[in-house]
Structure 1
Amino acid sequence: MKKILLTFFLGLILVSGYAQKKSTANDTIRLADPTIFYEKGTYYLYGTGSPRGFLVYTSTDMRHWSGPAGRREGHALLKGDAYGNHGFWAPQIYKQNGKYYMAYTADEHIAIAESDSPLGPFTQKEQKAISGPGKQIDPFIFKDKDGKLYLYHVRLQNGNRIFVSRLKNDLSDIDESTTIECISAVEPWENTANAPWPVSEGPTVVNHNGLYYLFYSANDFRNIDYAVGYATATSPLGPWMKYTANPIISRKNTGYNGTGHGDLFTGKDGKLYYVLHTHNSNTNTGRRKTAVIGVSFSKDTPSVFTADPKTFRFLLSSPLK
């Protein structure tokens, strides 16, 4: 009986160990499809990495990261508290009226959960996915200057294609009648393997000086040429014109394969950054590494956006205390 109980408890430790394990000093954080939410001097880092939901790490200087720090076994969102059983991918945090919302992918559908804290727990009173046909992934909530909300997302329709829909003011669902396609992968750099299923994904949208910028990644994430480009428009609904010098972030200017699928954020220094992932190494995809790079809008040429390779660095955990 003792042997049976020991085996049972060892099994429990192994199952829960991923979430319970604290990072050791100078470990590279391994969250794919990352996003960083900054508020009141603290950076909150989330991404794809746990089969049980979304872990969160925190930092006050963007260099030393502690965690996992979520309130549910290290998770900001834990399986069972909101929609989804597997495939927890690509979260984004959005704040409105004192509440925090997490838009995310699970079971290849999109859901939106809420919390009173960036650390969670993010929950849903009614565990459900948003409306829409077929599979939908990679959500991004954008609020326009007129207060209207939009949900940019990817639909799996003859490839990974980026769409946008009006999002209801209470963030409960989209207005499916407003859905239109933004972009798909048709440029040579967007499908270097000539795959039958072209991929454009991971949208992030911002408005700068009256122009809308849609940042996205293209190629299959396992492709060494996975990279980041952008398109511009004068309306959040498009039409979108792709930048002629894409990609702006790739293995050619970072030195690392599989560079992409991230999010823009402004640091406490007032500068703009893009958090992203790379392959585990230049020989295998593996558990993808989380990194950050400094980016900026051109002061002289409208619609030009650049990344500074000298600022590229991986995010490391801080020493245990």
Structure 2
Amino acid sequence: MKKYLSLVFLLYCFICCSQDKEKSSKTSAAAASILLADPTIFYDNGTYYLYGTTTAETPLNGNGFMVYTSSDLKKWKGPAGAQNGLVLKKGESFGTQGFWAPQLFKYNNRFHIIYTADENIAIASSDSPLGPFKNDSKVPMFASGKQIDPFVFIDEDGKKYLYHVRLTNGNRIFAAELKEDVSGIKEETLTECISGVLPWENTQNVSWAVTEGPTVLKRNGLYFMIYSANDFRNPNYAVGYATAKSPLGPWEKAAENPIISRKDIGINGVGHGDVFYDKNGKMKYVLHTHFSSSDVSPRKTGIIDLIFEGDKIKADFKSFVLLTE
């Protein structure tokens, strides 16, 4: 009986030690990795600013938006926001939870952050990319419905467009021209752009198909929309693009989609990012991945080079790198 109890005790110790080692290993990996989902990078005056979705599993507990900074895209410091690491803090702008998918842009010599909170879109401004960003009215951009994943594109003629996702019979990407003061949209211009109807966009064949995370750029008179498809928890979350001759479409999806997927990168859940250009003018895409092959969250942040070949976008898979502090 004593031998039996001793064996049970030893087995218990072995299991506990194994679990502790696994937990320690994950904690160590998380500490080294930058854990921002739906990331965006803004370059200004020699510094790269990295923002993204934070959750309870990431530093500062998802109570707003944090920022990391870098001068070379390799060494990152942060959280570096003006409010104890945060650039936008819950309670000082619109939103009580679900601070998702920020984008930073500069307009009228002010920095603006457009973001999702409470499954709605709001905009706040600051004198610095480090914040603090505030929205004194503390109201969302839209009065009804649910909208997420905003992206502002300013065209060559100065007109501004808001690309975003509306939660209506699936996550569908819409676009509309913004008012001059970027306080809202011109409702008569609201247009549906992209929905998940292709096999790669809905690999689990769910009734609520997901297309989201739009980023828009223009080259040689042609508009390119890079977007992600599938639920972010799906290992097959992936990136594709579409083109149009007008900022409001119609959009034609690329035949070679998806252009970034787990098949290419070797990591689950790659997608929902933003295009930016480095100090040498090289086009890059910052995105997130699942934490591991078994865990979705906290999601890791990575960067990959994008290349134009004529009117097609391709990813340089050898350039992919996960970001670390």
Same fold at TM > 0.5: yes
Whole-angstrom distance in 1 between the partners of 2:143 and 2:275: 26
User: If each structure's helix is expressed as a fraction of its own residues, which one has the higher value?
Assistant: 2
Whole-angstrom distance in 2 between the partners of 1:270 and 1:184: 31
Whole-angstrom distance in 1 between the partners of 2:29 and 2:208: 39
Question: 2:58 is matched with which residue?
Answer: none
> Which runs of structure 1 show a deviation greater than 4 angstroms over 4 or more consecutive aligned residues?
23-26
Question: 1:313 is matched with which residue?
Answer: 321
Deviation string 1:84-131 (CA, Å, 9 cap, x unpaired) is 000000000010121000000000000000000000000012111012
Query: 2:198 matched to 1:212?
Result: no
Q: Which amino acid in 2 is paired with 1:40?
A: N
Paired residue secondary structure (1:189): helix
Question: 1:236 is matched with which residue?
Answer: 247
Paired residue secondary structure (2:264): helix
> Which of the two has higher C-alpha Rg?
2
Correspondent of 2:197 among 180, 186, 190:
186
Question: 2:49 is matched with which residue?
Answer: 44
Query: 2:210 matched to 1:199?
Result: yes
Paired residue secondary structure (2:187): strand
Paired residue secondary structure (2:263): helix
Whole-angstrom distance in 2 between the partners of 1:54 and 1:93: 11
Q: Which amino acid in 1 is paired with 2:188?
A: S
Alignment of 1:45-124 (within 5 A): 45-50=50-55, 51-124=62-135
Deviation string 1:12-35 (CA, Å, 9 cap, x unpaired) is xxxxxxxxxxx9998110000000
Question: 1:278 is matched with which residue?
Answer: 289
Paired residue secondary structure (1:311): strand
Query: 2:245 matched to 1:245?
Result: no
Task: Name the CA shift for 1:176/1:131 in 2 (closer, same or farther; >3 Å).
Answer: farther
CA-CA distance at 1:177 after TM superposition: 2.0
Correspondent of 2:272 among 253, 258, 261:
261
Paired residue secondary structure (2:200): helix
Task: Name the CA shift for 1:24/1:305 in 2 (closer, same or farther; >3 Å).
Answer: closer
Whole-angstrom distance in 2 between the partners of 1:235 and 1:56: 33
Deviation string 1:59-108 (CA, Å, 9 cap, x unpaired) is 00000000000001201111011100000000000101210000000000
Whole-angstrom distance in 2 between the partners of 1:74 and 1:136: 27
RMSD: 1.4
Whole-angstrom distance in 1 between the partners of 2:30 and 2:78: 11
Normalising by structure 2, what TM-score? Answer: 0.88
Question: 1:288 is matched with which residue?
Answer: 299
Question: 2:35 is matched with which residue?
Answer: 30
The unaligned stretches of length 5 or more in structure 2 are 1-27, 56-61
Normalising by structure 1, what TM-score? Answer: 0.89
Percent sequence identity over aligned pairs: 59
Question: 2:22 is matched with which residue?
Answer: none
Whole-angstrom distance in 1 between the partners of 2:128 and 2:195: 35
Query: 2:178 matched to 1:167?
Result: yes
Pairs aligned (count): 292
Query: 2:153 matched to 1:145?
Result: no
CA-CA distance at 1:231 after TM superposition: 0.2
| Kept after mapping to 2: 8 A contact 1:263/1:276 | yes
Question: 1:8 is matched with which residue?
Answer: none
Q: Which amino acid in 2 is paired with 1:36?
A: I
CA-CA distance at 1:311 after TM superposition: 0.3
| Kept after mapping to 2: 8 A contact 1:131/1:176 | no
Question: 2:312 is matched with which residue?
Answer: 304
Q: Which amino acid in 2 is paired with 1:212?
A: Y
Question: 2:14 is matched with which residue?
Answer: none
Whole-angstrom distance in 2 between the partners of 1:255 and 1:128: 41
Whole-angstrom distance in 1 between the partners of 2:179 and 2:290: 36
The unaligned stretches of length 5 or more in structure 1 are 1-22
Deviation string 1:197-239 (CA, Å, 9 cap, x unpaired) is 0000000000011100000000000000000000000000100
Whole-angstrom distance in 2 between the partners of 1:183 and 1:24: 36
| Kept after mapping to 2: 8 A contact 1:31/1:288 | yes
**Worse-matched range after superposition: 258-267 or 169-178:** 169-178
Paired residue secondary structure (2:186): strand
| Kept after mapping to 2: 8 A contact 1:105/1:137 | yes
